[in-house]
Structure 1
Amino acid sequence: MKSVTRRGGLCLMVGAAAASTLLASDAAEDPALAAIAKHRKASADHLASIYAVDDTDPGTGARYDAEGLNEACCHAAWDAAWDLASTIPTTLAGIVAILQYANELEDAGEEWPDTDRIGRDGWHYRLRQTMAAAAVNIAAV
């Protein structure tokens, strides 16, 4: 019995290693990774634009310019968040990456667009629907 269990455990470990290698190679082309990168960049730009506003004197032309850039960066970050929620991953690794990224940001206290909306208009609803569609697509392959 021990040898069967040991052999089964070894097969499970080898299978998991092979699966993780497959997931990593397939994920390189997954659009989910590009959506995450886009959101990371947009969020970093938005944060930098907030600091730029803070570093200018109120009532100056530099302040108005910084506020305009901040508003544009804010919209870009929200658009990137909606793109993230709407991008259908093509691999299991892509699904995992998006869900882990969303959890990472929420754990850090970040907000998603329209999180106070319930149902189809909400960001979390869209994310769940997209991840479900990805899972169905992957299962069909």
Structure 2
Amino acid sequence: MSSTHTLDLSVDTSARLTLLWRIDADHILGIGSDGRTDDGRIRYAYHLSRKGCTIFEGRDFCSGSNAKPTVEALSHAAGCLLGFLTVRPGDVEEDYFAEYTFQQLSWRDEFAEELSIYAQDRSCGYCGGDHDSPTRLHC
């Protein structure tokens, strides 16, 4: 496993907590709060890229009801989101992938299984241990 697996937490200029997760040498997942839904859940804006090319981006991922915007909640959301982004055929119904682009399908087939380990059990990318990956908080 690559030693570049890190989480960078920062507060952007609008004082919203954001996270940049360098999953491996090629993949970065950015996620941050983007307001609330009508039922009180945090809406997250996210962006997954590989070698600087966007694979997935959206604002369609939300927290549970009445979640608090904390570092821990954002870190947990990033792990859950990666779990959704790395599903493969057999994990879900085939129509789940109906809206995927050719690029997204190709990425899924080549990289999703390998990256899904980081979403499972929140394993550390440095040592493979069953603890959270190291984080750095930047303000």
Q: Name the TM-score, length of structure 2 as normaliser.
A: 0.27
Greater radius of gyration (CA): 1
Greater helix fraction, Structure 1 or Structure 2: 1
Greater strand fraction, Structure 1 or Structure 2: 2
